[in-house]
Amino acid sequence: MKLKNFAAASIVTMMAAMPALAETTIKIAGFGASSGVVGIFGQNSSAAMQAAVEKINSEGGVTLANGSKAMLETEYYDDRCNAEEGISVLRRIATTNAAIAVGPTCSNVAEPLFGILQAKVDDAGDTGLQFPIFTDVAIKGGLAGISEWVFRNTPSEATMYDDLFAWLRATYPDTKTIFGGVEEDFAHSRFTWYSVMKAAAEKHGFEVVGEGQWLLNDTNFSNQARAMRRAEPDIIAISAHPFTTCGMLREMDRQKISPKVLVGLTSSSSLETLTGCANEAEGLIIPTSFAPVNDAAKYAADAVAAKGGALDLHSAAAWENFMILRDVINAAGIEGTAESLQSDRRKIRDALGALDTVEGLLGTNKRLPDGEAVKPYVFVGAKDGGWAVVHNPGS
């Protein structure tokens, strides 16, 4: 059984590689976690990348410096959300003919990975790897600043939550207090509560009346929910990933805690939360950088679904990255030969760094000098087992 699959897999890989030899191709590698507990993220990103490449190639591919056309190709590497593997994968990608890599999934891979890159371009004293990365998923704040070779197309949580709480202040004028629940041992969720949500809430005049902490694989939330019940907050913010978000929501339901507003973590605005606990999540409001609100977004969502993935805020970034990279490659004038590989990478990096704005699925994305992005966003709410847009600041 296994051998068969193995043989089948290798044949498929070989067949897929065949036509690529026929003409000039530019490779954009994808990497991240496509197996393990968070594997679904990588699988979605991988599907989005394939769909994006198909679209770009059907529209004629990219233009090289000499005016000729080249097709794009992509391959996805699995790092299992492990730092060492992520570094190894990147080194492997750097030895292939890939011009740039899109990834990784996990912030705990991104942080060490960016550390092995050259911190400042043209710093001869720094022997870090010189390879451009355009991150789609790893979202923990402030990571792109680690190296000048890193760019991210992840939403700026600081901006989104700041606006969310401003909107809440205006929409629910009688809400005064907020209680925060945080998944303490996950870098992203922890950072988002203490450095983003809490600050934003306080800035807009909400009083933080308590905090409850739990760990990634906790199963008992009764203590935290009891503290919530006593504090009687108007707003409850849960900065956690789907599994514990659902566990906590269930416990709140059990203890009959019903705040006026429920706020969730960006990463939880995915299918997982709804699969896990659609009933309890009803009304949960989350800012997200993707929702199928316009034709381009709907088209992308369908194209990715045809590849067996789901388009959510993470995989939408992978799709956007490829679209942005098409324009960047066209503008950078790369040669696309084996000899020009290193200078092509440098050209792509510089062209990415020179961008001020790019077009994303929801509108114009602002690019910041440190490699981060400020993306348009919408506020979605869980409604009848789906995500519905409750407010669109851009419209």
Partner 1 sequence: MDYYFFIDLIQSLVDGLLFGTTYALIGIGFTLIFGVMRKLNLAYGAAALAGTYVGLAAAFVTPLPPILVFFVSALGSGIIGYIVYLGCFRYTPSSHPMAALLASVGMLLFIDELVIHLSHGMPYPYPSVLRNAEITLGEIWIRGDMLFVFGICVLAMVILYWLLYRTSLGLATRAVSQQPRAAQLCGIPTGQVNALTFVISGVLGGTAGAMTAAAVGVLSPIIAMSLTTKGLIVVVIGGLGSIPGAIIGGLMVGAAENVFQLLRGVTERDIYVMLLLFIFLTLRPGGLFGNTEGRD
Partner 2 sequence: MEFYLGLLQILGVHTLLGLSAYVVLLTGQVSMAQAGFYAVGAYVAAMCTAMFGIHILPAVIIASVSTGILAMIVGFPALRVRGLMLVVATLAFGEMVRMFFFNFRWQIERDGKLIGPNGAEGFRAIRFFPENGWETGDVALFIWCIVVIVLGLLWWVDNTRAGAVLRAVGHDEVAAQSVGLNLTTIKVAAMALGGAIAGIGGGLYAHTVTHIEHGVFGILLATFAIAYPILGGLGSVFGTLLAVIFIQGFLVEGLRFIGDWRSLLFGALILLVMNLRPTGLLGERMSPLKTLFSRKSPVVTNAKETQ
**Residues 141, 367: Cα–Cα separation, whole Å:** 15
- Concatenated DSSP letters of 226-294: HHHHHH--SEEEEES-HHHHHHHHHHHHHTT---SEEEE-GGGSSHHHHHHHHHHHTTEEEEES--S-S
116 is an interface residue for partner 2 by CB under 8 A: yes
271 is an interface residue for partner 1 by CB under 8 A: yes
Gyration radius from the chain CA atoms: 22
φ/ψ region of 236 (left if φ > 0, alpha if ψ in -120 to 50, else beta) reads: beta
- The token duo for 46 is 């991988």
Name beta bridge partners: 373.
Answer: 367
To partner 1, the closest distance from the beta carbon of 211 in angstroms equals: 10
- DSSP code at position 159: H
- The token duo for 272 is 């997982």
Contact pattern for partner 1 over residues 143 through 182, marking x by CB under 8 A: ----------------------------------------
Q: Select the residue interacting with partner 2 from 4, 95, 256, 369 (CB under 8 A).
A: 95
To partner 1, the closest distance from the beta carbon of 127 in angstroms equals: 36
254 is an interface residue for partner 1 by CB under 8 A: yes
| Count of beta carbons in the 10 Å neighbourhood of residue 35 | 13
Sign of CA dihedral 18, 20, 21, 27: negative
Stretch touching partner 2 by CB under 8 A, among 19-27, 66-74, 149-157, 184-192: 184-192
**Which of partner 1, partner 2, none is residue 357 near (CB under 5 to 8 Å by kind)?**
none
In terms of CB distance, is 118 or 245 closer to partner 1?
A: 245
**Which of partner 1, partner 2, none is residue 38 near (CB under 5 to 8 Å by kind)?**
partner 1
Interface residues with partner 1 (CB under 8 A)?
35-40, 43, 184-185, 213-220, 222-223, 226, 230, 242-243, 246-247, 250, 254-255, 271-272, 275-278
Interface residues with partner 2 (CB under 8 A)?
2, 5-6, 9-10, 13, 34-36, 39, 43, 76-78, 80, 83-85, 87-89, 91-92, 94-95, 108, 111-112, 115-116, 118-119, 125-129, 146, 184-185, 187, 190-191
